[in-house]
């Protein structure tokens, strides 16, 4: 049984508005576009509405079965379809938060009645600590001590240099969130800082409530200066990078398949030249 990972909160260090994220670095970055990149943030809801229109117009039994299969997949795998198609790893041994409860006390005291903007940074930071601890507990327990110490000022540690948050909609209580992190680029043996992309998913809306970009510095507390990742950490991050790329490919294919099936059902029901709406008993 996996040890319980209680969320920890880390205070940002050395915030600087002038910090620029080196997305054009020589590190390998993903070139494959996610299937959802050009879609509306509400694409999952749109899929449900499109299928609803098909059902309302009239479907044959075989078409109802196909539509039901799409809806079942969306209901079960929505996190993978949304976050996984972007390369976020959503498995139990990778996620930072899963169905974390949004509580009333996290709401803004103003009349807007939405989650206070500060909370999103806390969600991201706490989930990042759990994401890192996953390496110690599940991914690379052989080096548990070193991975665990990354969150302490003992030896080699990770310092949050800056965090940028992009709010997508005013999330409200009650809700649950899942938070995922991914490496923005493939690390090298010389990596002494890296970028993590973060997505905070609302369960109620089934879409991102916010996105963050975290700039992380690797710091040697004993030497008092920046330091590169240890070799086994580079290896673990490289494997993670490959898994991210595979998750993006697999889940993007699922998204394309679902959208193709929805379009086929539309063309077989209401969106064809000879389409006649099934009026049921009223039309007889």
Distance of alpha carbon 20 from alpha carbon 274, whole angstroms: 57
257 token code pair: 């398949």
> What CATH code is carried by the domain that includes residue 89?
3.10.129.10
Q: What are phi and psi of 268, to 5 degrees?
A: -90, -15
40 token code pair: 């509306």
Residue 182 inside a domain? The answer is yes
Residue 223 inside a domain? The answer is yes
Please give the full DSSP string across 84-98, using - where no structure is assigned: GGGT---STTT-SEE
Distance of alpha carbon 96 from alpha carbon 195, whole angstroms: 16
Percent with pLDDT over 70 in the chain: 86
Examine the pLDDT at 32 and tell me if it is beyond 90.
Answer: no
| pLDDT tens, residue by residue, 109-140 | 776 689 999 999 999 999 999 999 999 999 99
Q: At 20, is the pLDDT very low, low, confident or very high (cuts 50, 70, 90)?
A: very low
Are 248 and 228 within 8 A, CB to CB? Answer: no
Are 34 and 247 within 8 A, CB to CB? Answer: no
First-residue to last-residue Cα distance in the chain = 61
- 119 versus 22: the higher-pLDDT residue is 119
Residue 132 inside a domain? The answer is yes
77 token code pair: 């795998």
What's the pLDDT score for residue 2?
A: 47
Distance of alpha carbon 262 from alpha carbon 157, whole angstroms: 48
Percent with pLDDT over 90 in the chain: 79
Residue 148 structural domain: 43-271
Residue 22 inside a domain? The answer is no
Residue 203 inside a domain? The answer is yes
Residue 282 inside a domain? The answer is no
* Over residues 198-203, mean pLDDT: 99
| pLDDT tens, residue by residue, 221-277 | 999 999 999 999 999 999 999 999 999 999 999 999 999 999 999 999 999 988 887
Distance of alpha carbon 115 from alpha carbon 103, whole angstroms: 9
Closest by CA to 99, choosing from 173, 205, 176, 2, is: 176
For residue 130, what are the contacts with CB-CB under 8 A and spacing of at least 6? 5, 7, 8, 95, 96, 97
Write down how long the chain is: 284
Residue 111 inside a domain? The answer is yes
For residue 109, what are the contacts with CB-CB under 8 A and spacing of at least 6? none
Are 255 and 216 within 8 A, CB to CB? Answer: no
Residue 183 inside a domain? The answer is yes
3-state secondary structure of 22: coil
Q: How many separate domains does the chain show?
A: 1
For residue 156, what are the contacts with CB-CB under 8 A and spacing of at least 6? 146, 149, 150, 218, 219, 220, 221, 227, 230
Are 85 and 255 within 8 A, CB to CB? Answer: yes
Task: Give this prediction's pTM.
Answer: 0.86
Distance of alpha carbon 104 from alpha carbon 101, whole angstroms: 10
């Amino acid at each position: 049984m996996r040890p319980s990972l209680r969320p920890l909160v880390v205070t940002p260090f050395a915030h600087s508005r002038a910090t620029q994220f080196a997305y054009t670095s020589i590190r390998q970055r993903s070139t494959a576009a996610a299937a959802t990149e050009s879609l509306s943030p509400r694409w999952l809801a749109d899929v449900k509405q499109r299928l609803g229109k098909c059902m309302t117009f009239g479907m044959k039994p075989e078409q109802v079965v196909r539509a039901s299969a799409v809806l079942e997949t969306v209901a079960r795998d929505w996190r993978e379809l949304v976050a996984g198609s972007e390369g976020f790893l959503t498995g139990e041994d990778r996620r930072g938060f899963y169905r974390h409860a949004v509580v009333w006390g996290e709401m803004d005291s103003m009349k807007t009645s939405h989650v206070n903007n500060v909370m999103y940074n806390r969600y991201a930071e706490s989930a990042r600590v759990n994401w890192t601890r996953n390496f110690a507990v599940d991914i690379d327990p052989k080096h548990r001590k070193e991975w665990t110490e990354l969150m302490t000022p003992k030896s080699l540690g990770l310092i949050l240099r800056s965090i940028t948050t992009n709010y997508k909609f005013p999330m409200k209580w009650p809700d649950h969130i899942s938070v995922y992190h991914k490496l923005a680029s493939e690390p090298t043996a010389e990596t002494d800082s890296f970028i993590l992309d973060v997505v905070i998913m609302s369960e109620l809306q089934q879409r991102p409530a916010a996105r963050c970009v975290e700039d992380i510095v690797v710091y040697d507390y004993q030497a008092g200066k920046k330091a590169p990742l240890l070799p086994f950490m580079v290896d673990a991050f490289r494997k993670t990078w490959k898994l991210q790329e595979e998750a993006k490919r697999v889940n993007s294919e699922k998204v394309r398949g679902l959208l193709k099936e929805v379009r086929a059902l539309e063309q077989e029901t209401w969106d064809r030249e000879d389409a006649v709406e099934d009026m049921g008993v009223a039309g007889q």
